Structure 1
Amino acid sequence: MPRLEEPCWSCSCARSIDQESKKLSTCLTRRAGEAMSSLNSLLSLAYSTLASSQGRSLIRRSLVLFAVGAFLALVLNLLQIQRNVTLFPEEVIATIFSSAWWVPPCCGTAAAVVGLLYPCIDSHLGEPHKFKREWASVMRCIAVFVGINHASAKLDFANNVQLSLTLAALSLGLWWTFDRSRSGLGLGITIAFLATLITQFLVYNGVYQYTSPDFLYIRSWLPCIFFSGGVTVGNIGRQLAMVSYSTYLTKEKIEVGLSN
């Protein structure tokens, strides 16, 4: 009898242990699944919040850059028209500052693209721009850019070559004073090259024209204006990006503090 009962007892004990282990493993699996689902939901929520915050910041910066570019285009183009440097056909002249209707939106769009591109390139290269990062420096850069454009319309030299060399030196001085980054120099040269090609195309097709052209269909100093304008708008875009990032970090710290 003892030998018959002992196997029965060991068999029932083993079955109970197996059942308990299965229950425990099922419970652990369910808890792990719940934890993973909670983690995934938290990650998706954090990602969506970050994406929406970055999206709103991108839209705000684009609108500000568009407005700045359109305003500068109206003011600077008015100066060129008053000095008879730039001539538009009479049928395309609008009432706003006696400028062509397409000038402000085109320049505003270009300013938005350039202003967003500068901090993006800095981030891609891993070289954050930290030289003179304050609004006072940005405003001085804008003032120097307006002065360079003003000089292109009002300074009288013996020939256009002397004027072009003078404006080239002023444009490089603007970059050295307010930028000093390799990415800023490279993007400024690229912007000047592409903008000059587009301007040549527009003048060739009779959209508007320059008086006394000496560089194919345009004035030889125009690439200097595009270069200094690209550096100026790039500094504005960098400053806006830095302000947006600082605001986002402040909000994150406040939310973390409230949650704790």
Structure 2
Amino acid sequence: MPRLDDHCWSCSCAQGARHRGRPGAGAGGLAAKVGDMLSPAALAARRGPDPDPAPTRGPRSPGAGGRGAGGGPPGSWHHHLVQRSLVLFSVGVVLALVLNLLQVQRNVTLFPEEVIATIFSSAWWVPPCCGTAAAVVGLLYPCIDSHLGEPHKFKREWASVMRCVAVFVGINHASAKLDFANNVQLSLTLAALSLGLWWTFDRSRSGLGLGITIAFLATLITQLLVYNGVYQYTSPDFLYIRSWLPCIFFSGGVTVGNIGRQLAMGLPEKPHSD
């Protein structure tokens, strides 16, 4: 009769022989079990459901993550807008002081004695008003170009912009210095020069349309100011002003618009809301 210890010895020996006949089987099985335990599904099952799952979102736009459409931070566009506004305001103030001084010295524009308050013999409100108008016009030109989808690419360099400013100053200087038989001849001459300035430095439909609109609105405001006695023009021939004044406003709008376009080059785009 076989004893119990013989059965135990034979079973353990047989199992050991089977394991020795398949070397590495135990290690492979152990590695497989460890891999299954460390898989993402197993880890997620052990961790349980997320108590605060993130809401499902659509595809993120290039401007997501606190950045604007241009790839910069959301405040960069506003920062550049303020910088451009200050530069355009300063340009308008300087041009107003220089050009208005020329008009006053030639007795083309006359201010009442009680409102003369600056060293440039002009009313105190003229420089800030012209600076504000220059800032609005300079920001409006690139905005209209972007809205129409027609970016202005004609002579986009600072040398061309400076030449445009020089021509504009020359047109204003001619309005005060040149003597013609009548104001109609002077007006036609300045109109030709103003259109030549637009053709030489702009040639865009938006620039022409905005220049005409600015000339009309500025002339209307000037008529109202002169009518209310704020100041006056000598020898008026177009209601209360001179007929060549719209040409000055037109060329000034084109000039300031080119400055605004040049300042807007290479700046980040306006951020879009999601």
* TM-score, with length taken from structure 1: 0.80
Q: Which residue identity lines up with residue 87 of structure 2 in the other structure?
A: V
Partner of 2:8: none
- Which amino acid in 2 is paired with 1:56? H
Aligned to 1:111, which of 125, 128, 134? 134
What is the letter of the counterpart of residue 89 of structure 1? P
In structure 1, list runs of 5 or more residues that go unmatched: 1-19, 249-260
For 1:134-213, list aligned pairs within 5 A.
134-213=157-236
Whole-Å separation in 2 of the counterparts to 1:153 and 1:83: 6
Q: What amino acid maps onto 1:160 in structure 2? A: N
Distance 2:199 2:189 in 1: 15
Q: CA deviation at 1:196?
A: 0.2
Partners of 1:90 and 1:70 lie apart in 2 by 21
Aligned 1:1-260 pairs, distance under 5 A: 23=45, 33=54, 36=57, 43-47=64-68, 50-245=73-268
- Are residues 36 and 29 of structure 1, via their aligned partners in 2, closer, same or farther at CA, if it must alter by over 3 Å? farther
Q: How far, CA to CA, are the matches of 2:173 and 2:256 in structure 1?
A: 17
Structure 1 position 29, deviation (Å): 9.9
- Paired AA for residue 195 in structure 1: A
Unaligned runs of 5+ in 2: 1-41, 270-274
Shift of 1:244: 3.0
State how many pairs are aligned: 225
What is the TM-score of this pair, normalised by structure 2?
A: 0.76
Structure having the larger proportion of residues in helix: 1
Question: Secondary structure at 1:105's aligned position in 2?
Answer: helix
Residues 117 and 124 of structure 2 are in contact (CA less than 8 Å); yes or no, is this contact kept in structure 1? yes
Question: Matched residues, percent identical?
Answer: 80
Deviation at 1:46? 1.6
Deviation at 1:45, TM superposition (A): 1.4
Query: What is the CA deviation profile of residues 18-55 of structure 1, one whole-angstrom value per residue up to 9, with x for unaligned ones?
Result: xx8x959x758977x27859x69x82412495430000
In 2, Cα distance between the equivalents of 1:178 and 1:129? 11
SS in 2 for 1:84: coil
> Quick one: distance in 2 between partners of 1:119 and 1:95?
33
SS in 1 for 2:203: coil
Q: Pairwise CA RMSD of aligned residues?
A: 2.8
Residue by residue, what CA displacement relative to the aligned partner does 1:78-112 show, whole Å, maximum 9, x if unpaired?
00000000000000001231110000000000000
- The one-character-per-residue Cα deviations of 1:220-254 (angstroms, maximum 9, x if unpaired) are 00000000000000000000000434xx8xxxxxx
Q: Tell me if structure 1 keeps the 8 A contact 2:66–2:74.
A: no
